[in-house]
Every structure is written in structure tokens, then in C-alpha cells.
Structure 1
């Protein structure tokens, strides 16, 4: 029996590394299984990340001083970056002032959720399933429709978007459905897919490098050749991990930029 187990282990080791699959993003429930409140690993990561973000920002706001300390300065720099380099840069100060809280919330939440993919113990971005990016995108969809209806009226907004001036009327037959599809589907889909796909691909790349590291260092039969190869894979994984930290910021920034652009397009054109 022991010999059979040993042979099975050897065969498993020689079969290759245990590479990540798309099933990693659909883990089994770990809390309240079999109930409507079932929580799996990625949902737990979202809850923990949200609590940490709220606690950190809450304590920072509570202890804010007129002359900011080091940590308060970092937080205020981030908020100023979103306000000045994203919202005001695109919409202007007058229109953008009311949208700063929403865009800042999107930016910081997505950034922290993305960073969960490289935090030990989590090792998975909270945006690595389609539900969370879609939720953010639907929020943006509702916001730019609400803004458009308030500023132009429902028909005025649909007319301006689907029937732009200066276009020959036969073209409207093709153009109007495309424009309406963009307003309802393409814009939120572009936000969702861009964020979701980048987080999934990043996780798979980093996890694959670490899987190859484990295989060559621990499981490969030829240790003399396996350890150098495994260390090379570890270096690749480390570089990709650092790159993923940059991607976490970049995707939050791009999402904030596009959200601001879509909301800005709902306003009437300035004279």
C-alpha cells in the first residue's frame, strides 16, 4: 500500500506543475454553505478589503489635522490626484465638483480590490470575477443616464446621441441603433471586460510562475537542474508581481478616466 502511494506521488510529480485554471475563480463556499448567504474565498476577500479600506479612511478622517501628517498627506495626495488629474481635467471644476466623491470611491475601491491579488494570504484580486466589475460599470451607467436626464431630458439625450446633427437621414437607420447600443451595452461592457480580463490574466500569469517554481524546486526528480530553473521562474513571478501592482493602479485609473468621460458626455456641449 505504501509503495503504491509512493509510486502515485512520483507519477503526479513527474506529470508536471499544478497550473492554475479558471476554476480557481469559482471556489466552493467556506462559510454558510447551502444558504443564500454562502461566502466563498473571493467574497471573503472583498469583505475584508472593504472593511480595511473603510477603517483606514475612517480613522484618517477622524484624526485629520489642519497641518497633515505623513499618512494624512498620502491620502490627501491620492484624493487630490483623482480630483485634479481625472475629474477636473475632463469635466472642469464646476461640473466635476459633484462627481469627485463617486469617482474617488471607484478609484480607491478598485485599486485596493486589485491589490488583493498580490497580498499574501489573499492572492486573488477581488475584481477577478465578472460580478464586481459589472457592479461598478452599472453604477457608472446609472450615473451618466441620471446626469443626462437631469441636464437634457430623456428625449433630448437620446436625440443628441442617436441622431447627431449634420448626418444624412438615411444613415440614421444604421447609426441610431448602434449609438443606442453603445449607451446601454457597449460602455458598461467595455468597463467590465477591461477590468475583469486584466485581473484574471494577471492572476493566471503570476500563479503559473509560482506553480513552475514549486514544481522545479520541490517536485522535479533532477534537483541539480531543477533548483536553478525553479529560481528563474521565481524571479519571473516576482517581476510579474511588481508589474501587477502597477496594473492594479493603472486599471483603477483607466476605469476612473472612462467613467468620468462617459458622465461628461451626458452634459450639453459648452458654447
Structure 2
């Protein structure tokens, strides 16, 4: 674990200044590989991690399901567990046994790609949650947004009927416009906004927290001018270890919550009552 922390200290932001400590900030989320701030096109390390994670997931699922066996291999067993978890917990139980099957590929893809990119935040020499860049949660949310509204329009029988379903029946006439505006904002603005910001905010905050304790601990341990400061740096490293395990839990929960909310929104889209 100490080797992991040393690697993390180097990979999180390069070299720490020997004369002063620079407080971690949002600039630590910008790692260009090709191009720079002044270029119109910049290929960043988070983008590379995202591409590699998608390739890894595709390879894993294809290789695990190529030769299915009655007694599963470890890879097949892990695939079945992930599929069963998403299918039963977030598909059938939330959307319903009648309508859940067409959405399982989307839910499984969302869960696995978010989970793997979240876990990248504690992988040595990567040490960066890709979803801590707002662009990635926005793209995932846009996919959910389009699927949700297209499904709702088809199920309700047209865009006009879909908009009409936003207002519950039986309301007084004066209350219907107010309720329509509130529901419209909820379904077209608030839901996608909170879905993206929740994932982004938690991953960015967790990364910054690890930056503070790992880089700050390294600085205090190696550059402190008295034993008390050095000991404080060692305790900072120990606390960083605890935070890494806590961050693993948060990374799983955020992948689960994003996928679960997607299932809830899809269940609402195919429901007859709303």
C-alpha cells in the first residue's frame, strides 16, 4: 500500500515543489496528452482512460460469453453476477417484468463503464476518476435523456399526449398551468442536470480529497522542518489509505445510483399512470 501511495503521489500531479506546497485544485483534472490549452483539439489522459475502459469491458464480456459452460469459469461467473445484479435489482424490480428487457443492455453498459471509470480513481499510475471530468457525465446523461424521452413519447402515443401526461388528472383549472411548468422543468431540466452533477461532483470531490492527503502528506513527510510535521505527514498517508477504501465504496454507490435513477426514469416513461 505504501508503494501505491508513492505512485499515486507522483501520478496525481507530477512532482511536488520542494520549496512550497501548491494546494490541489480543478487544474489537476486537466491532463493533456496531445495539444494544450491553446489548441482547438486536445486529447487528454482521461479520454484515453475512458477509451481503454470501453475496450476492456467489450473484450471482457465477449470473451466471457464466447464459450458458455454449465459450470462457469471465473470470468463467466463474474459476468453472470454483474448481469444478474443489474437485471434483477435495477431492471426487473424497478421497470417491471413486462417492460424491462429492452433496457438491460443500456443499464448494464452504464453500470459497468461508470464503475470502471470511477475505480480508475484509486488504480496506481492512473489515479484519476474519469467521471470527475464533467464532459463524461454529461454525455452519459444525454444518452439517458434521449432514450427516456423517446421511450415516453412512443409509450404515450405521441409528443402531445406525452406533454399532456405531465399534468395529473383531476386538478383544478387554475392549478394545471403551474403544475405543468413544474413537471416540465423536472423532466426536461432538473432530472438531467442533477443526474450529471451528482456523479461529477462526488468523483471530483473524492479525487481532490485524496490529492490533499496524499500530496500534502508527502510534502509534510519529506519537507517538514521538525519531527512533529514529519509525523503529521505519516498520519496523512495513513488517513489516505482509509479514504481510498471509503472512496471505493463511494465509486460503487455512484455507479449504482446513476444506473438506478436511469431505471426509475425509464419505469416512469413506460408507466400508464404518468
> TM-score with structure 1 length normalisation?
0.88
Tell me whether 1:106 sits opposite 2:142 in the alignment: no
- Displacement of 1:71 in angstroms is 2.4
1:127-186 per-residue CA deviation (whole Å, 9 max, x = no partner) reads 01111111111111111111111111212211111x211211111222211211112111
- Displacement of 1:58 in angstroms is 2.2
2:46 pairs with 24, 42, 46, which one?
Answer: 42
- Displacement of 1:269 in angstroms is 2.5
Unaligned runs of 5+ in 1: 1-11
Tell me whether 1:124 sits opposite 2:128 in the alignment: yes
- Cα RMSD (Å): 1.8
- Alignment-derived partner of residue 154 in structure 2: 150
The 8 Å contact of residues 13 and 220 in structure 1, kept in 2 or not, is answered as no
- Alignment-derived partner of residue 255 in structure 2: 252
1:114-134 per-residue CA deviation (whole Å, 9 max, x = no partner) reads 111111111111101111111
Q: Identify, as 1 or 2, the structure richer in helix.
A: 1
Tell me whether 1:188 sits opposite 2:192 in the alignment: yes
- Displacement of 1:61 in angstroms is 2.1
- Displacement of 1:235 in angstroms is 1.2
1:30 pairs with 6, 25, 33, which one?
Answer: 33
Tell me whether 1:82 sits opposite 2:86 in the alignment: yes
- Alignment-derived partner of residue 269 in structure 1: 272
Tell me whether 1:168 sits opposite 2:172 in the alignment: yes
- Alignment-derived partner of residue 98 in structure 2: 94
> TM-score with structure 2 length normalisation?
0.87
Unaligned runs of 5+ in 2: 1-16
- Displacement of 1:212 in angstroms is 1.7
- Alignment-derived partner of residue 230 in structure 2: 227
The 8 Å contact of residues 53 and 116 in structure 2, kept in 1 or not, is answered as yes
Distance, in Å, in 2 between the alignment partners of 1:263 and 1:256 is 11
Residue 30 of structure 1: SS of its match in structure 2?
strand
Distance, in Å, in 1 between the alignment partners of 2:270 and 2:96 is 12
Q: Which has the larger radius of gyration?
A: 1
